[in-house]
Amino acid sequence: MNKWIAGARPRTLPAAIAPVVVGTSLFARTNLPFNWLNAALALAVSLLLQIAVNYANDYSDGVRGTDEVRVGPVRLTASGLASPKAVKSAAYLSFFLAAICGGVLALRTSWVLIIVGAIAIIAAWGYTGTSKPYGYMGFGELSVFLFFGVVATMGSYFVQSEQVSGKAFLVAIPMGALSCAILAINNLRDRPKDAEVGKRTLAVRLGDMKARFFFVLLLISAHIAALLASFISPWALFTLALLPVSYSISKSVIKGAVGRDLIPLLGKTGRLQMLFALLLSLAFII
């Protein structure tokens, strides 16, 4: 069981939790009745999709041979810890459970969520699972911003209010930027090996130094969007307390941390996103 937990890549899960927490907390400012079941279902969908993506990537990269020499989280397929069929089945099961939770949520709110959920699942599999995966073309960060930023945050607000909100879009920006930062630092770590096997991630396309600056730009964007959220609640200025953390991570990345030295920074980036989410949520609830 431990190998399956490791294969789910727990360090990436903050990217699934944080936007749901923020979108749900923003609804608290409306003083309308809160639905705990809808919130739980939204969180389940987000977590299951993240886990499904991780297993799907493990399977697809493993059978292509692009994960044979890697630094970082356990790769079940490439390492031989699990058969490709078993990993693929784990991905399918996670997608299925996400679809079930999403279907129940749609029945409780709006059928539009069925369309959104179907697109999310197709995008999740298409990241590495097709003959021409868009993750190999440098579009991974864009997809993450859309689905683990905009869709997850605004969707979590929508399942409570059944309304599309500009405020929800604003607070989705820091969540999307930080989710992108998690992927960006992961791809920066894997950049040399990805370049060797023809995996043209954005880090490969940009080159080492530009990829590092892009990562820092994502953190800056998150802070700017969070400051703009002070127009929703002045307590959003709490996020300024995270500037030293962002600076510390950025400094290590710009100084040229590579390989295994980037793994702790990946974990710190995930924790930074959760801290952002908690502070923004606190600001909206106060």
All structural domains of the chain with their residue ranges: 2-285
145/170 Cα distance (integer angstroms): 13
The rounded radius of gyration (Å) of the Cα atoms in the chain is 18
Section 246-258 average pLDDT: 93
- Is residue 72 scored above 70 in pLDDT? no
Section 89-95 average pLDDT: 93
Model pTM score:
0.90
Report residue 89's pLDDT band, with 50, 70 and 90 as the boundaries: very high
pLDDT of residue 1: 57
pLDDT of residue 133: 85
pLDDT of residue 73: 67
Query: Greater confidence, 107 or 80?
Result: 107
Quick check: 176 and 16 in contact, CB under 8 A?
no
With CA atoms as reference, report the closest residue to 21 among 285, 286, 278: 278
Section 85-106 average pLDDT: 94
Query: Greater confidence, 31 or 53?
Result: 53
pLDDT of residue 68: 58
Section 88-110 average pLDDT: 94
Report residue 161's pLDDT band, with 50, 70 and 90 as the boundaries: very high
Per residue in 180-224, pLDDT tens?
999 999 899 988 888 887 788 999 999 999 999 999 999 999 999
Q: For 2-285, which CATH class?
A: mainly alpha
Task: Quote the tokens at residue 29.
Answer: 């400012």
Report residue 50's pLDDT band, with 50, 70 and 90 as the boundaries: very high
190/119 Cα distance (integer angstroms): 28
pLDDT of residue 278: 95
With CA atoms as reference, report the closest residue to 128 among 189, 78, 72, 71: 78
7/257 Cα distance (integer angstroms): 24
38/44 Cα distance (integer angstroms): 10
pLDDT of residue 28: 86
The average confidence (pLDDT) of the chain is: 90
Q: What percent of the chain has pLDDT over 70?
A: 96
Q: How many residues does the chain have?
A: 286
Per residue in 110-151, pLDDT tens?
999 999 999 999 998 888 877 788 988 889 999 999 999 999
